[in-house]
Each structure stands twice: as structure tokens, then as C-alpha cells.
Homo-oligomer: A and B are copies of this chain.
């Protein structure tokens, strides 16, 4: 768990390493929420900082839908020009999640394609990628694999669990499943359950993939043809929901791309078209279409208001910091307020903050001192308690 530091930019954690933990080997496969069994399972993860002797300074970071375990630092051989981890502004020495004080873990979620077992992994029963034979996984199943990883690392208490979007769902699920493990929780830009609007956008993304003949019922891995066009459209849909009307107006407006007048054709005339096409084609190089299907489905199924363990009936004892963004229209502030109301009704200790930002849902991924300070201050309080 020792990490080489000091080789990156001054304020970065430096060079990090992706590691793997394998468990649930047959016959001890894991029982999923659907009742199906899955195994073996590999979880890709990274850690930063040092676990204290009292093992009481561990923080679990949960990533969003298309994220990965690489939340901070750089990989060996990467130059300063390479992008560091996706939350590098927040995780590092002296940062909001201070790696001089805390031991921080992030694991790639079950069903993904960034090192953890998912539909593109080999199915041991066939020796070929699972495709749609991969069982449906839930946010609960993702949390379960993270729990197995913590057990393996010898961590039985979390100072906090923190994450945005689908990561925030995992945060809430941790509180529901393991209220005795979690001391505090920071759900960011998230919701107790998807609205019909959020389900609709996910369904459109799924339909775009499944409409691509190269998808081939999910069994495309060995065919040399991948549903790239469908996946690109799916990503464009997602991308628009991560932005906001204001952000797009500011970022693109009606500006044209490298031209002074309309082409009177179907090329990308507007910058926003060019940007979306670029986002779509960039995404297909790093993400698996089936993983998108599985993870969006898990997000749609997620519902903290559901029996037998609705969030209202949770045992008090966890300190919450709920954060929303004013221009997030995927998980608007009214949904965060509903979460706060329910937690308070259950007697929980809840702080709530809506951050004014015009960049939409993706705001939690954009460097922002307010987020760093909020989280840093909250963690100080928890650690000192």
C-alpha cells in the first residue's frame, strides 16, 4: 500500500499503480441481488496515502458511470501532459481529501470495463467474453464487491464514503447496507432514485446501441465489428444531460466550427455539433457498449425509497454531507432536498449544500475550491470527533 509520491506536479499524489483483487472463485461465487451467481470476480483498484495503525483513516471513493479506479495521480511513464486521475484536484497531499492524513481507495465498479469484471470479461464457462450472458448487476452488487475488497485490505471501518452521480448512489447504498461500517457519507450530484426523465435518457442511450447491427445481440467481441456508431450516439445523449443550457450557451452558443457561414449540408457547422461528435468518437475508444447497458440499467433500478430497507428507516449514526449543483438538471437540487428531508426524518445528522454553478451535472468533476473546502472541512470534523 505504499505509494511513490513527489514525482508529479507539486500538489499531485504523483505516480500511482492500478492493482487487482480476485475473489468469488467457484464454487464460492457471489450471489447477486438478482439471485444469479457470479465468479470469479476481479476488482481493479487504486489507493493513495497510508492506512493508519488504528486503521481508522480509510476513505472510499465511488466513481461515476463511465469512470474508473484512477481517481488521482499519474501512471508510470505518463508525462505531465497526460491527464491525471479524474478527481486529482480533490485527492492529494493537502487537498480536500488529504492523502497526508487519509488512506483513500477507489475501485472500478462491477459491470464496467476498466479492469473490474464486466460483460467484456471472459466467461469461465465458455472461455469467451460474457456479452449479454453477464448477469444483471445492481448498485448493491457494486457495493458488495467494494466490501469484499475492504475486507481483503483489512479495513472494517470507513471514515467516509464519497462519490458523485452513480458514485453517489453507491454512497447511499453503503449507508443502507453497512451503517456500522460507514462513519460518514458524502453523496454528491446524485439522487435516491432515477426520475422518469433520467430513465428515458438512459433508455435512449441503450436503444441507440442495440439499434446498431454491429452490436449483434451483445456478442461482438470476437467479430471484429463493434457498435461504435451506436455507442457514440449513446454518449452524445449522455453528454448533453451532463451539461446545462447555460453551460452550453456559454461554451458554444451558436458559434460555427472553422467556417464563416453555413455549409447548407449535414456536416458539423456548429461548434456544439463538432464537440458532440468528438465526445462520441473519443468515448468509443475507451468504453465498452455492453458496460454502458449494464451500468445505466443498474442506475435505473436503484431506489433508496424501496422496501425492505428504505432510507427513512435507516438507523441513525451516520453523518451526511449532501451536495447538489444549481444547474444539474439530471439530478436537480429538488431531488437532493428530498433525500435530505428523508434522512432528517430518520433522525440522521445531515448537512446540505447546493453549490451555485452553471456547468450542469458534470460540475462535480470540474476543479472547484468550494467542493474541496466543503469536503476538507467536513472530513476534519469527522476525523476529530
Residues on A facing B (Cβ under 8 Å): 34, 36, 132, 135-136, 193-197, 199-201, 203-204, 206-208, 210-213, 229-230, 232-233, 236-237, 240, 243, 245, 248-249, 251-254, 262, 264-266, 268-270, 272-273, 276-277, 280, 293, 297, 300-301, 303, 329, 332
Contacts and interface: CB of A to CB of B under 8 A. Distances in A.
Given A34-B264, A248-B195, A264-B136, A273 B203 contact: yes
B203 A229 contact: no
B211 A265 contact: no
Contact of A240 (B200, B213, B248, B269): B200
15 contacts: A195-B245, A196-B249, A197-B243, A199-B272, A203-B270, A204-B233, A204-B237, A204-B240, A207-B233, A207-B236, A208-B208, A262-B301, A266-B293, A266-B297, A329-B329
Which of A210, A251, A264 is packed against the most chain B CB atoms within 10 Å?
A264
Task: Please indicate which of the listed interface residues A206, A207, A229 has the most CB atoms of chain B within 10 Å of its own CB.
Answer: A207
A265 B136 CA distance: 7
Contacts of A201: 240
Given A204-B233, A207-B236, A210-B266, A199 B245 contact: no
Contacts of A280: 207
A17 to B, nearest CB: 35
B199 A254 contact: yes
A196 B213 CA distance: 30
B204 A276 contact: yes
B237 A270 contact: no
A322 to B, nearest CB: 20
- Of the candidates A212, A249, A266, A297, the one having the most CB atoms from chain B within 10 angstroms of its own CB is A266
Nearest to A306: B254
Contacts of A332: 245
Given A195-B254, A203-B277, 11 more contacts: A194-B254, A197-B243, A200-B276, A204-B236, A204-B240, A204-B276, A208-B233, A210-B266, A245-B329, A269-B300, A270-B300
Contact of A249 (B135, B195, B245, B270): B195
Contacts of A212: 211
A213 B213 contact: yes
Nearest to A274: B203
A254 B196 contact: yes
Given A207-B280, A272-B199, A276-B200, A193 B254 contact: yes
Contacts of A253: 196
A273 B240 contact: no
Contacts of A254: 193-196, 199, 303
Contacts of A136: 264-265
Q: Which 5 residue pairs of A and B lie closest in terms of their CB atoms, listed nearest first? A: A211-B229, A196-B248, A136-B264, A196-B252, A34-B264
A213 B229 CA distance: 10
Nearest to A36: B264
Contacts of A199: 254, 270, 272-273
Contacts of A303: 254
A156 to B, nearest CB: 31
A295 to B, nearest CB: 12
A245 B197 contact: yes
Given A206-B266, A240-B204, A264-B34, A196 B230 contact: no
